[in-house]
Amino acid sequence: MPVAASAIYFLNLRGDVLINRTYRDDVGGNMVDAFRTHIMQTKELGNCPVRQIGGCSFVYMRISNVYIVIVVSSNANVACGFKFVVEAVALFKSYFGGAFDEDAIRNNFVLIYELLDEIMDFGYPQNLSPEILKLYITQEGVRSPFSSKPKDKPVPNATLQVTGAVGWRREGLSYKKNEVFLDIVESVNLLMSSKGNVLRCDVTGKVLMKCFLSGMPDLKLGLNDKLGLEKESEMKSRPAKSGKTIELDDVTFHQCVNLTRFNSEKTVSFVPPDGEFELMKYRITEGVNLPFRVLPTIKELGRTRMEVNVKVKSVFGAKMFALGVVVKIPVPKQTAKTNFQVTTGRAKYNPSIDCLVWKIRKFPGQTESTLSAEIELISTMGEKKSWTRPPIQMEFQVPMFTASGLRVRFLKVWEKSGYNTVEWVRYITKAGSYEIRC
């Protein structure tokens, strides 16, 4: 649920109230005294930014020489509260010329009260965009004499933006060449046993976009996710096409995405910000296509010798390739000498991290490479401790491959002027925590 703030206080370092605003009547006016007595005077401000006193929660943050305290009486979203404070401070700075401190608050009481009424309604955060608020709160703040920040230019067409349609994009943009770049970037997290069994595996991904489009375009993105394909077949009254569908978990969208249309049509529709932004994030836990399989064999021959054999096989398509492949094979701390044989790339012993580091600049698909190493250990007089065998770690980047199997089915751009656009789509899979037990 949202933050649902009952009141917000601005205090100086002595605990004096500079300004406050009460949004609900479920807390008393003396709650700030409880904060001052139980937290500020006991010098526990740095321990935890969230405290509970007398049935109320205090969410507070120090900015310069000012404490901003939000009082809530219910089980509120603390992360939302901190985000509200950060964005509110950025809004105040845009009015005060970049400064936010005790003097700036004292010089701008009237403006701050007006802004507090606009950015929070009955304890729920509202629009905190400086570009939009400056369209109808035109009063200028008293700027610090040390601030050299130029005044922000007003955004045209106030009526369109105040309605909340496209607060993240200004009108009047024009490009000679209209282009859209879309990247699907995924990170594979894996824990595999020494026999090749997957113990834990998931993929975290994000859709990054860079738009250079004129006017106010409306974009529609279709993916091969399960919900989207099922909804499309339902709307067209025909069975869904055969093929792999992806079930996305924990999806979060940029604020530009039309959530109402997504809930009804299961397509991602949006008016994009200008330039680069993150459209969505997601996670996948089932049906992951691993780009590599690693089969290690480590033999301890007595007290002073070891043999290491590691086979790495690429599972992705033969026409693809991986870049910057690094395999880190742990060895005991008492390693004295190493001898290598690799079928591809280069290997060396790095004593600072106690690992054999095997680097392959380009790894083609459907191939395998092998590392064989003989390791000599320093003989110790004391009792030998058993080696814990940390997991092997991998780093890689595979262009035009997604471990989840996610694909872009279509990317449509519509603008009333009807100009032509060029769309570029790219897929990249990287290693997150890619570990194989020895």
CATH for 32: 3.30.450.60
Of 102, 118, 134, which residue constitutes the final position of a domain?
Answer: 134
Amino acid at 227: L
CATH of the domain at 338: 2.60.40.1170
Highest mean pLDDT among 15-24, 92-101, 116-125, 317-326: 317-326
Q: Are residues 406 and 284 in the same domain?
A: yes
Alpha-carbon distance of 203 to 146, in angstroms, equals 48
Q: Are residues 210 and 333 in the same domain?
A: no
Q: Are residues 104 and 231 in the same domain?
A: no
> Residue 262: what pLDDT?
86
Q: Are residues 12 and 122 in the same domain?
A: yes
- Chain segment 56-82, per-residue pLDDT in tens: 888 888 888 999 999 988 877 888 888
Q: Per 3-state DSSP, what percentage of the chain is helix, strand, and coil (rounded to 5)?
A: 15, 40, 40
Its sign, for the CA torsion 40, 43, 47, 52, is negative
348: in domain: yes
Q: Are residues 115 and 17 in the same domain?
A: yes
**CA 146 → CA 96, 100, 143, distances in Å?**
11, 12, 8
Its sign, for the CA torsion 40, 44, 50, 54, is negative
Q: Are residues 339 and 357 in the same domain?
A: yes
171: in domain: no
Q: Hey, which bits of 267-345 come out as E strands?
A: 268-270, 275-284, 292-301, 305-314, 321-330, 335-342
163: in domain: no
Would you mind telling me the total number of residues written for the chain in this entry?
Answer: 438
Q: Are residues 275 and 410 in the same domain?
A: yes
User: Checking phi first, is residue 17 left (phi over 0); if not, alpha (psi -120 to 50) or beta?
Assistant: beta
Is the separation of the CB atoms in 200 and 189 below 8 Å? yes
**Percent of the chain's residues with pLDDT above 70:** 87
140: in domain: no
Full-prediction pTM beyond 0.85?
A: no
Alpha-carbon distance of 37 to 315, in angstroms, equals 63
**CA 87 → CA 129, 130, 155, distances in Å?**
8, 9, 19
Angle, helix 109-119 to helix 78-96, in steps of 10 degrees = 140
Q: Are residues 392 and 413 in the same domain?
A: no
Q: Are residues 256 and 190 in the same domain?
A: yes
Q: Are residues 262 and 326 in the same domain?
A: no
201: in domain: yes
Q: Are strands 179-192 and 422-436 parallel, antiparallel or unpaired?
A: parallel
Q: Hey, which bits of 84-138 come out as E strands?
A: 120-121, 124-125
How much is the mean pLDDT over the chain?
Answer: 85
Which of 142-156, 304-318, 392-406 bottoms out in mean pLDDT, i.e. has the lowest? Answer: 142-156
CA-atom Rg of the chain in angstroms: 29
Residue 92: helix, strand or coil by DSSP?
helix
Q: Are residues 356 and 419 in the same domain?
A: no
Please state, as a whole number, how many other Cβ atoms lie within 10 Å of the Cβ of residue 69.
24
Is the separation of the CB atoms in 347 and 358 below 8 Å? yes
173: in domain: no
Of 134, 166, 196, which residue constitutes the final position of a domain?
Answer: 134
State the number of CA atoms in the 13 A half-sphere of 199 facing the CB: 12
- Chain segment 244-301, per-residue pLDDT in tens: 678 888 899 998 999 888 888 878 999 999 999 999 999 999 889 999 999 999 988 8
Q: Are strands 335-342 and 368-377 parallel, antiparallel or unpaired?
A: antiparallel
User: Is pLDDT above 90 for 422?
Assistant: yes
363: in domain: yes
- Chain segment 31-46, per-residue pLDDT in tens: 778 878 777 777 666 6
Of 102, 134, 166, which residue constitutes the final position of a domain?
Answer: 134
Q: Are residues 338 and 410 in the same domain?
A: no
Per the structure, how many domains does the chain have? 3
Residue 263 backbone dihedrals phi, psi, to 5 degrees: -65, -30
89: in domain: yes
Domain housing 47: 7-134
